[in-house]
């Protein structure tokens, strides 16, 4: 009996240790509703030190999170004190408008992005014609609230005021935009992979996802990668010529089969795939969910995040 109790105790402790990240979706869609666009707070469990993965919706998402008792402080405290920095995947409005709109009330912090994304912020949004320059480079007057931190491909970088480290990867996102993924690691080297908008390599004529899969496959084999957050924007009926750099359920599976080739057969069974960036419209979201569940040869654990509802990973 004592042995059983001890085993149970060890198992439950392992379970506790296995939960390493808090993930709070502030917005989950890829359009159609300006109060619920891509933004996810990621942090070490119970620390309230977050990096915001994209920033489509900030304030409205914080308010929903407070209403669901995810936070027991004011929205101002979450915005100014809990969010320690932003990772911006690419320059599209549905990934950064919340950051721009809330900039007057925000506190001083860093924006982590590839140089091509910082150029979009600098030249198109933090300008006097569009808004004001709340960043530390570009048009005068420079208000110096945000500091641009340029990511370099495959290079680990510390997220200031957190115990998180990030590594950036380039993604292909249609003809006119380059996007990015980020691997977020905690002090125990556990990780979450977040991808901004991306097309499939075959459609984009790119190798970006193949390169990313090769990089993260060892982390999956070592059980260090907790989840992949990746977009599915359209149902399968969307023609491949009209994807505009996005994925369908079929293309996601096509890509993850390639990942499984590097991790070993059966290795992705029950692996958590958090589906982001669903584009609302008619019954499109229900169709996407149905198509993911009906064609799931790898037996992945598809998760659909809900605005304001904390997930522990």
Q: Which is nearer to Zn ion, 32 or 309 (CB)?
A: 32
Nearest to 39 by CA among 57, 51, 22: 57
Q: Which is nearer to Zn ion, 197 or 204 (CB)?
A: 197
**92 lies in the binding site for Zn ion (CB under 5 A):** yes
Length of the chain: 313
**197 lies in the binding site for Zn ion (CB under 5 A):** yes
Smallest distance from Zn ion to CB 226, Å: 23
**54 lies in the binding site for Zn ion (CB under 5 A):** no
Q: H or E segment at 182? A: strand 177-185
**63 lies in the binding site for Zn ion (CB under 5 A):** no
Smallest distance from Zn ion to CB 244, Å: 8
For 307, phi then psi, to 5°, come to -55, 130
Q: Which is nearer to Zn ion, 92 or 122 (CB)?
A: 92
In the block, residue with structure tokens 């407070």: 66
**94 lies in the binding site for Zn ion (CB under 5 A):** yes
Q: How far apart are CA 221 and CA 115, in angstroms?
A: 32
Q: Which is nearer to Zn ion, 54 or 291 (CB)?
A: 54
Is the separation of the CB atoms in 31 and 279 below 8 Å? yes
Query: In the structure encoding, which two tokens stand for residue 81, read together?
Result: 């004190």
**204 lies in the binding site for Zn ion (CB under 5 A):** no
Smallest distance from Zn ion to CB 116, Å: 13
**178 lies in the binding site for Zn ion (CB under 5 A):** no
Alpha helices in the chain (DSSP H): 2-18, 59-67, 75-77, 97-101, 115-120, 201-204, 208-221, 249-263, 284-294
Site residues (CB under 5 A) for Zn ion, limited to 25-44: 30
Q: Which is nearer to Zn ion, 30 or 308 (CB)?
A: 30
Which residues bind to Zn ion, rule: CB under 5 A?
30, 92, 94, 197
């Amino acid at each position: 009996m004592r042995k059983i109790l001890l085993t149970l105790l060890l198992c439950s402790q392992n379970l506790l240790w296995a939960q390493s990240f808090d993930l709070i979706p502030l917005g989950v869609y890829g359009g159609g509703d300006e109060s619920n666009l891509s933004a996810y707070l990621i942090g070490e469990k119970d620390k309230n030190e977050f990096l915001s993965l994209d920033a489509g919706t900030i304030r409205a998402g914080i308010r929903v999170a407070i209403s669901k008792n995810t936070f027991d402080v004011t929205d101002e405290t979450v915005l100014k004190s809990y969010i320690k920095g932003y990772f911006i995947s690419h320059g599209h409005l549905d990934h950064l408008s919340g950051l721009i709109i809330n900039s007057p009330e925000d506190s001083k912090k860093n924006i982590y992005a590839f140089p091509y994304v910082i150029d979009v912020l600098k030249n198109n949004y933090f300008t006097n014609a569009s808004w004001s320059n709340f960043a530390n480079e570009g048009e005068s007057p420079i208000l110096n609230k945000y500091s641009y931190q340029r990511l370099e491909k495959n290079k680990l970088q510390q997220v200031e005021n957190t115990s998180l480290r990030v590594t950036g990867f380039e993604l292909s996102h249609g003809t006119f935009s380059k996007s990015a993924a980020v691997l977020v690691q905690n002090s125990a080297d556990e990780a979450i992979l977040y991808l901004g908008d991306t097309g499939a390599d075959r459609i984009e004529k790119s190798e970006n996802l193949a390169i990313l899969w090769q990089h993260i496959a060892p982390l999956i084999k070592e059980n260090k990668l907790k989840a992949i957050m990746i977009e599915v924007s359209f149902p399968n009926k969307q023609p491949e010529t009209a994807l505009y750099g996005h994925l369908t359920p079929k293309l996601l599976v096509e890509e993850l089969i390639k990942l499984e080739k590097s991790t070993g057969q059966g290795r992705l069974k029950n692996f958590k795939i958090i589906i982001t960036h669903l584009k609302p419209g008619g019954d499109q979201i229900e169709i996407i969910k149905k198509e993911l569940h009906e064609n799931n040869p790898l037996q992945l654990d598809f998760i659909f995040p809900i605005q304001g509802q904390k997930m522990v990973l």
